[in-house]
Amino acid sequence: MTYELCANSAVLASPGVIEIDKETFDSVIHARRVISDTVSIEQKLDFVLSNMLELEMAMVQITTEQMLYDYDERNWFDESRDLLNRKIMNLLSAGRSYIDALPHHINGIFSRDHQKTLDARKILSEQYDSRLGYRAMEALRNYVQHQGLPVHGATHGRGRSGVLGSTQQQYTLDIWLKPDELCGTGFKAKVLAELKIVGNRIDLKYLIRDYVEGLAVANEKIRYLVKEEVGNAQIVIEALLKRYIEECPGKYSDIAVIVARTEGAVQVESHGVLLDPFKYWARLLRKNRGYTNLRRRFVTTAATDKAFTLSGSIG
């Protein structure tokens, strides 16, 4: 049995071949696993945030429709609530996928180092323990999976906004969770007791943003946990590619280099040696940042230029 660093014959007609040892081959396998699991963690967070974006956009869409068309038909209100329920359920499912998959990915990154898995679970537990929104949304996900829906009520409001004096009318959408409707449903009793203390109607937007913020904060700590391992994996891949370029000039293609295990003249196992996953991971890091204090943020389309008058003149 031999191990080789070579070009994929399906890409290059005359691939260069370098013999490598088993240790080098195994180091590539591990590096690939590290970046694969690391990317998967970031992708699952990205799915959470993308679902959050869809929910926020749906709320803006519904409120804007109410402003433009002044809907008062029952069908429109029902369809709007259905849309919000669907978006929230998708978000909760994505969040649960992130939470459930994280220990498995950490196992892969750290070769089943039990302590690292415990560290990752502790990071999630800290956010769960410190955020009512996190606890409530986890309990709500279990509830909607088995019987109910997340939105118990919605209020479409309008009134003077106070922006530009009192000349503008503000349209709002509030979505509610009602603890009394969760009694006797199997909803987690301890969390339900906490919600009842807050009130009879609780702003779902706040709870959801608190939950997503908690996952994002946890993920920042997970990034720190895996950073060194990812860096080492990238060093392994870069060193091997550099070696191939130096020893087989003219044979390199960024999609063609592989390590292979051969028996006789037959390749029985092969794996690509690629930097693309590391670049993708870096793009996700740049994209998914800045989620602290998400629960204190909101979007408004109100005009805010106080020098502007409704007659169209600029003072």
18-34 tens-digit pLDDT: 999 999 999 999 999 99
Whether 304 is covered by a domain: the verdict is: no
Asked whether residue 162 carries a pLDDT value surpassing 70, the answer given is no
Q: Is 72 a residue whose pLDDT tops 80?
A: yes
Is 128 a domain residue? yes
**Is-contact 87 58, C-beta < 8 A?**
yes
Average pLDDT over the chain reads 90
CA atoms within 13 A on the CB side of 146: 9
Cα–Cα distance between 17 and 6 in angstroms, integer?
A: 4
Nearest to 56 by CA among 106, 96, 91: 91
pTM strictly above 0.85: yes
- The confidence score (pLDDT) of residue 251 equals 63
Question: E strand or H helix at 158, and its extent?
Answer: strand 153-160
pLDDT per residue as tens digits for the range 252-305: 666 678 899 988 878 899 898 999 999 999 999 999 987 778 888 888 887 766
Each residue's pLDDT tens digit, 92-115: 999 999 999 999 999 999 999 999
Instruction: Encode pLDDT of 110-130 as tens digits.
Output: 999 999 999 999 999 999 999
Given pLDDT bands bounded at 50, 70 and 90, which one contains residue 63?
very high
Tell me, what's the pLDDT at 315? 41
Chain center to CA of 223 = 13
Residues 226-231: contacts with CB within 8 Å, 24+ apart? Answer: 226/34, 226/38, 226/41, 226/106, 226/109, 229/34, 229/38, 229/109, 229/110, 230/34, 230/35, 230/38, 230/109, 230/278, 230/281
Amino acid at 251: K
Q: Evaluate whether residue 30 is within a structural domain.
A: yes
Nearest to 240 by CA among 31, 5, 22: 5
Instruction: State which residues form the domain around 94.
Output: 2-296
> Is 228 part of a structural domain of the chain?
yes
Q: Report if residue 47 sits inside a domain.
A: yes
**Domain membership flag for residue 89:** yes
State the total domains in the chain. 1
pLDDT at 11: 52
Measured distance CA(221)–CA(116) in Å, rounded: 12
Question: Would residue 253 count as lying in a domain?
Answer: yes
Residue type, 148: G
CA distances from 93 to 29, 125, 277 (A): 31, 18, 25
Domain annotation covers residue 138: yes
